[in-house]
Amino acid sequence: MAFVVDEDCRTKRNRHFSEQSLRNAGIDPAVHAHYLGAPNEFEEMFSDEQWTAVANVQWPRRDGREWRFADVSKCRTGKFSKEWQQKLNSAIDSGCVGKPAIGRAMAWSLRTADEIPLQLRTAFDALVALAAS
C-alpha cells in the first residue's frame, strides 16, 4: 500500500493523510506515504515555463495575449494551485478550470522523463519497486 499526496497533507490538521492520521490507522508514513511538492503541493513541482506552455495550449486568454512566466510566478506567493486556478479562470472563456483538469493538462504535456520533476520520478520508482516485491 502507498499514498502519494501533497506535501501540505503532512502538516495540516484534520487531514486524512497527515502523518498522525496514518499512524492512527496503523500505517507507517515513513514506509507508505510519498508527500509531493515543495513547499505545499504537487503543482509547485513544475516550473513556470512548464505551466506557461500548458496554459498557452490548453487555456488561451480571452484578451489574446500569450501567458507569460510572470503570470505563473505571481501565483507562487500563496497556495499555488488555488491562485493559478483563479488566474486561469479569470482570463479564459472556456469555463471553469478545476484542479484535476490542471493536473491532467500538465501530465499530458510531458514528453520526456527529464520534464518530470525528480521528486515525482523518485515516488514512481518507489511505487514500481513496491509493486514488484
Q: Do the bridges between strand 33-36 and strand 3-6 make them parallel or antiparallel, or are there none, so unpaired?
A: parallel
pTM (2 decimals)?
A: 0.88
Which ranges of the chain would DSSP assign to H, the alpha helix?
19-24, 29-32, 48-58, 69-73, 80-91, 99-109, 118-132
In order along its 133 residues, the chain shows pLDDT tens digits of 888 888 888 777 667 878 888 899 888 988 888 889 878 899 999 999 999 999 999 999 999 999 999 999 999 998 999 999 999 999 998 778 899 999 999 999 999 999 999 999 999 999 999 899 8
- Concatenating the DSSP letter of every residue in 90-113 gives HH-SS-PPPHHHHHHHHHHH--SG
Strand partners, 123: none
Cell of 55: 496554459
Backbone angles phi, psi at 5, to 5 degrees: -140, 165
pLDDT for residue 14: 62
